[in-house]
Chain A
Amino acid sequence: MIEINNVSKYFGDKQVLFDINTCFEEGKVNLIIGRSGSGKTVLMKCLVGLFSPEEGTVLYNNRDFHHMPDTDQRKLRAEMGMVFQGSALFDSMTIQENVMFPLDMFTDIPFEQKLERVNFCLERVDLHDVNRLYPAELSGGMMKRAAIARAIACNPRYLFCDEPNSGLDPKTALMIDELITEITHEFNITTVVNTHDLNSVITIGETISYIYQGRLEWRGSSDNVLTSDNELLNDFIYAQPLTQRIRKKL
């Protein structure tokens, strides 16, 4: 479990996160939702230690991530996988080398076993015959999936996905959502997903934290996200004509 306590983040004078409190549970898909620029990415980067918050703490199973000894932090990082908003595959390496990279870094198993694991992960995200291709030779959706394969290569306990299905067609987006959910349940991972995709919100959000202008505005799950009486949340959920029409029917 990951707990966020009173986290505030500033860039210079500009405050981006305001006193955020929430938690992400083990074996579940935990969503962070909010409009563009609300601070989702910044919050996620605070979680994985790319930013350190000026105030507040991030606890992994009750241990303060930003104030633990370097060796412990490195051990914890080996248990994390992250899918970036722009995939962030290493573009000088083939897909196979990309997925194998964390295995090279954190394990000393023989090459054949690593290759087996790489192929298993690629298979798992439904990518075939891409081992020798470079990231630039894949489509956006395939890159996202390759990035997921790299993130799960080392059997992470924590998986972070920053808008894993933005910019993809609805079918592929759905496939990636399902994939993330399946992996989470299969390997009992603590998964945190940033999204503003409503389909994901309704289908995979086992816990949902809604961020509005850097503040945690609402917390719940996909069961009650459509029926809450929080004005700001409803503004977000029912922003589009389609959802407004659905709301009338509810």
Chain B
Amino acid sequence: MDSMGIGSMLIVSIVSIAMGSVITTQTALQIESSWIPTWTVGFVSRTSIVMELCPTIISLLLVGNLGSRITAEIGSMRVTEQIDALEVMGINPASHLVLPKVLASLIVNPVLIIFSIFFALVGGYLTILITGSVSPYDFIDGLTYCFRVYDVVYALTKTFVFAFVMSTVSSFYGYRIEGGALELGKANTQGIVVSSFIILVLNVLVTQIML
């Protein structure tokens, strides 16, 4: 679990800062009108970051990062007969290997995504500071305006669902490998494609159900 999370921290923070910066710039550009109060920029940026961008984009990023690591780890255990060794000992390899990975993802992914939200907001704030398109006070005002706990619950619910999809699908593709190391690469790609696809479809569904 430790090996899963820490390594992804750097890439997650970089992507998040960039994402926060871009979305804030875009929003500021679109809302350049005297009719709309300037705090809207902070408000809209926050809403998109917390509710959609971080849970979905970062989950997809983690599929490529953590998911593929799960596939590789379980797949290489399959190829080198370590899974057979477990089975001969009478241990159920599925629950012994897959369950801990699923549990770890359910803990690690939400933590990473909370960090990611924080970094994205910081990225947005820094952009405002540098470009000066909106006053920082108005931006912070917008960020904190009408804050709802439900938004966070919503973001975390998505994250949990996506983490579950990522860990189970990746494990599955690693587990069912037959043959050699060549299969490992193929399984990895399949795992990433299928997890991403399921995550994107579920994203639409969960959004419909929860909003």
Contacts and interface: CB of A to CB of B under 8 A. Distances in A.
Nearest to B91: A105
A92 B76 CA distance: 11
B85 A82 contact: yes
Contacts of B76: 91
Nearest to B73: A92
Interface string A82-95: 10111011111000
B88 A86 contact: no
A37 interface: no
B208 to A, nearest CB: 41
Contacts of A48: 88
Interface of A is mostly: mixed
A82 B90 contact: no
Nearest to A92: B73
Interface stretch (A12-20, A70-78, A119-127, A178-186): A70-78
Contacts of B88: 48-50, 77, 80, 82, 160
A91 B80 contact: yes
Interface in B56-95: 73, 76-77, 80-82, 84-85, 87-91
A56 interface: no
Interface in A56-82: 73-74, 76-78, 80, 82
A73 B90 contact: yes
A84 B85 contact: yes
Contacts of A141: none
Contact of B80 (A80, A86, A102, A105): A86
B90 A50 contact: no
Contact of B81 (A76, A84, A101, A105): A84
Contacts of B89: 77-78, 80, 101-102, 105-106
A90 B82 contact: yes
Contacts of B73: 92
A100 B81 CA distance: 18
Contacts of B91: 105
A37 B91 CA distance: 29
Contacts of A101: 89
Contacts of B77: 90
A184 B29 CA distance: 80
A88 B90 contact: no
A49 B89 CA distance: 10
A56 B202 CA distance: 47
Contacts of B85: 82, 84, 88, 90
Contact of B82 (A76, A77, A88): A88
Interface in A89-119: 89-92, 101-102, 105-106
A88 B80 contact: yes
A50 B84 contact: yes
Nearest to A84: B81
A50 B88 CA distance: 7
A48 to B, nearest CB: 5
A86 B90 contact: no
Interface in B20-70: none
Interface string B78-116: 001110110111110000000000000000000000000
B100 to A, nearest CB: 12
A15 B80 CA distance: 24
Contacts of B90: 73-74, 76-78
Given A80-B88, A88-B85, A91-B82, 16 more contacts: A48-B88, A73-B90, A77-B89, A78-B89, A84-B84, A85-B81, A86-B81, A88-B82, A88-B84, A89-B82, A90-B77, A90-B82, A91-B76, A101-B89, A102-B89, A105-B89
18 contacts: A48-B88, A49-B87, A50-B84, A50-B87, A77-B89, A78-B89, A80-B88, A82-B88, A84-B81, A86-B80, A88-B82, A88-B84, A90-B82, A90-B85, A91-B80, A92-B73, A105-B89, A105-B91
Which 5 pairs across A and B sit closest by C-beta, in order of nearness? A77-B90, A88-B81, A88-B85, A74-B90, A84-B81
